[in-house]
Structure 1
Amino acid sequence: MEKKVLFCASTLDHLRQFHQPYLEAFARAGWEVWAAAEQVGELPWAHRVVALPLRKKFTSPENLLAVAQCRRLLARERFGLVSVHTALAGAVVRAAAWTLPRRPPICYTCHGYLFREQDGLGKWPYLLPEILCAPVTGLLLVMNGEDEQIARSRRLGRRIRRIDGMGFDGARFYPPSPQDRAAGRARWGFAPDEVVFVYAAEFSRRKNQALVLRAFARAGVPNGRLVLAGVGDLREECIRLAQQLGLSGRVLFPGEVDTAELVGFCDAVVSASHSEGLPFHLMEGMACGLPAAVTDIKGHRDLVEPEVTGLLCPPEDEAALAAAIARLAGEPDTRRAWGRAAQVRSGRYARQRVVPQVLGEYRQWLEGREGDG
């Protein structure tokens, strides 16, 4: 095999969850597929997996060591394409490329900038690395309208394209039959008359599960249930908050689960996230025929059409989110109609459509970049 491609992300789990179809496509096309993340492990379709000492805190000295190790890797292997994901890995790989006299073709996929233009001085710790890395970013892929506007106005890449996410698995997320739905709800312990809201995400300040809990308590829906799936540093804190709010018997914390075995048995998606790229949990819920009550932020507003597939609420507005939860719980006909519309809309973001779209962007850029970089 002559052509080599490197996929890099902050964690190996990120590559496993979101990028295996792309690794497979390159491997089947005859490329030697490499992967780099914070640890070595099994990764289907990758011929080689290397570890970089990536640390979540940007200012960690170990990230400088990661830059040095990545520089040696890029100089030695002469990759025909470097596809980098997540903010930390994106900064490390592109900083390493900066120092090379001969740079590989680098595509950075932005899964959601962690800032907004209106954030004032607070945006600069995140925006400045993007500005500095722009000259070595041959292809920049963004996933929502606000990030595209930022990228183009700030010229954060040589070639900027908007894609419809990375593609959810449409073969696993779809509305279950009435029989399967009844059986699935019984397995989870959901009563037939309960309205179940689901939020599957890492427990973090950005994902903001605490606000969802407060809004759910405030909504006062007697037949409502809430499922907060996932793991993370703030999970135990949220469990304590649920107890304090008197929600212990109405909120489930199942941990890390196969969401395909959960979402279709629920009734609506809820989220209070501060920032997103194009969130998988929302797309998967839509594909299962679920309406949404979510914050009006980038990523969410690209997916949810108000009063058609769900409701958008001002960020940090507990009362508005509570009202949205109460409305979805109290209007079953609306819930079903919006869910059907959401399921139709989700087709745009399915893997079978998006993977060819993204691979096409790679191909067009590589074919047209002779002499670039």
Structure 2
Amino acid sequence: MSEAVLFTASTYSHFYNFHRPYLAAFRSLGWEVHIACGGKSMAIPEADRVIPLPFEKRMTAPANFRAQVLLRRAMEETQYSLVVAHTSLAAFFTRRAAAGLSGRRPPLVTVAHGYLFDNTTAPLKREILLAAERLTAPQTDLLLTMNQWDYELARKKKLGRRVENVPGMGVDFSRLEGRETDGAALRRELGLGSDELLAVYAAEFSARKSQSMLLRAMALLPERVKLALPGQGALLEECKALATHLGVERRVFFPGSEPDMPRWYAAADLAVSASRSEGLPFNVMEAMYAGLPVTASAVKGHTDLLVRGGGLLYPYGDAAACAAQLLRLTEDIDLRQELGAQAHEAALPYGLGQVLPQVMETYLSVLPGGAEQTPVFAGTAEHAATR
């Protein structure tokens, strides 16, 4: 059997949206590629084998421990050369499964897409989440973080045998090119005049993403400012009701799940994010590449992206401060253009063609003689187009 790699994540959609180029990259090196995940089934053609797992969001759910058993069995049956774990839930149970292996344990890489806590998190919650990371640190041969706060915490707390920071997983910016006509058509479809400004925020409707705060900010802004909130989630209907209660329902668009986000970025004048915490958010990077000035909550992930310019920050959860920053952009076209140009330039290092070779080199570095394999992969940015 050729060398084999196992990727794990909580859901199929996580693989579909973020990791298919990496699966294809391993296959291009002659590896057999297996994935293990939960959630709604989706076709992942770059995987040679798919192992369904019964993951549930609640950490202590019995189904998650059944998933751990299945992961251990898979690692015992297949002598993987490498295991790469994504998402907090799957990464925890993958590492616990590896801890119970009776034979040789494969090198294990964990990718932290953004710890769900920071310095402002309630102490008890923070300690519980940290305890889970400490428990699994001995099985973490390499821990990859995506923002400076997570990186410094992981190094200080020794959450992996080795800790490195990477510029996310890379964004396929090619799909954002040449969409001006589609953007203009969408503006007509939405009935937007040339003097009206559209802000966009694509995210799951959840407490962490905080769309309700943006709706309160909209109530403080002039009529010519509109807001698009593509996405689904548990709080969607609640947010629709809040928009009606605040009297902004005619100025807010709820298009639901949107497979073609590039047309929304082409139609928009601004990007906004209200999230409580992030790793390195794709939606913000895509908006930045599209040349949209960003107004974002001052949390990890956002601050990393905007450190070189491209947007304005406001304190998380402060609707008045958010509205004030959006108003600045609404009233100052020169500022919009300046920040939009900065945003595009700041996004370039996060392109998939630049990031994928870096991450692949880091993955392979945990193997015996891994450094010798990286020149084979260097320069293969064409894998950025495999999504």
TM-score after normalising by structure 1: 0.95
Unaligned runs of 5+ in 2: 372-387
Are the structure 2 counterparts of residues 365 and 55 from structure 1 closer, same or farther at C-alpha, using a change threshold of 3 Å? Answer: same
- Alpha-carbon distance between aligned partners in 2 of 1:169 and 1:328, rounded to the nearest angstrom: 27
Counterpart of 2:6 in structure 1 is 6
1:168 and 2:177 aligned: no
1:276 and 2:275 aligned: no
Per-residue CA deviations over 1:263-302 (Å, capped at 9, x if unaligned) read: 1210111111101000000000000000111100000000
Counterpart of 2:212 in structure 1 is 210
Moved over 3 A (4+): 174-177, 367-370
SS of the residue aligned with 2:240? helix
- Alpha-carbon distance between aligned partners in 1 of 2:145 and 2:232, rounded to the nearest angstrom: 26
Report deviation, 1:159.
1.3
Q: Report matched runs for 1:224-239 at 5 Å.
A: 224-239=225-240
Report deviation, 1:208.
0.6
Report deviation, 1:368.
5.0
Counterpart of 2:129 in structure 1 is 126
1:24 and 2:24 aligned: yes
Counterpart of 1:158 in structure 2 is 161
Contact 2:183 2:264 in 1 (8 A): no
Contact 1:170 1:352 in 2 (8 A): no
Report deviation, 1:121.
2.1
Contact 2:13 2:42 in 1 (8 A): no
Letter of the 1:268 counterpart: L
Report deviation, 1:160.
0.9
Counterpart of 1:67 in structure 2 is 68
Counterpart of 1:37 in structure 2 is 37
- Alpha-carbon distance between aligned partners in 1 of 2:172 and 2:370, rounded to the nearest angstrom: 31
Contact 1:176 1:288 in 2 (8 A): no
CA-based RMSD: 1.6
Q: Report matched runs for 1:315-334 at 5 Å.
A: 315-334=316-335
Report deviation, 1:184.
3.8
- Alpha-carbon distance between aligned partners in 2 of 1:89 and 1:189, rounded to the nearest angstrom: 44
Report deviation, 1:366.
1.7
Report deviation, 1:175.
7.1
SS of the residue aligned with 2:353? helix
Contact 2:110 2:142 in 1 (8 A): yes
Letter of the 1:199 counterpart: Y
1:255 and 2:237 aligned: no
Unaligned runs of 5+ in 1: none
Contact 1:216 1:325 in 2 (8 A): no
Report deviation, 1:118.
4.6
Contact 1:34 1:48 in 2 (8 A): yes
Counterpart of 1:196 in structure 2 is 198
- Alpha-carbon distance between aligned partners in 2 of 1:162 and 1:358, rounded to the nearest angstrom: 10
Report deviation, 1:180.
5.1
Is 225-234 or 257-266 further displaced after alignment?
Answer: 257-266
Report deviation, 1:122.
2.1
Counterpart of 1:83 in structure 2 is 84
SS of the residue aligned with 2:229? strand
- Alpha-carbon distance between aligned partners in 2 of 1:325 and 1:77, rounded to the nearest angstrom: 53
Counterpart of 1:240 in structure 2 is 241
Per-residue CA deviations over 1:193-234 (Å, capped at 9, x if unaligned) read: 21100000000000111011111212x222111000100000
Counterpart of 2:140 in structure 1 is 137
1:185 and 2:187 aligned: yes
TM-score after normalising by structure 2: 0.91
Counterpart of 1:266 in structure 2 is 268
Count of aligned residue pairs for this structure pair: 367
Report deviation, 1:191.
2.1
Report deviation, 1:187.
3.5
Letter of the 2:302 counterpart: H
- Alpha-carbon distance between aligned partners in 1 of 2:312 and 2:369, rounded to the nearest angstrom: 42
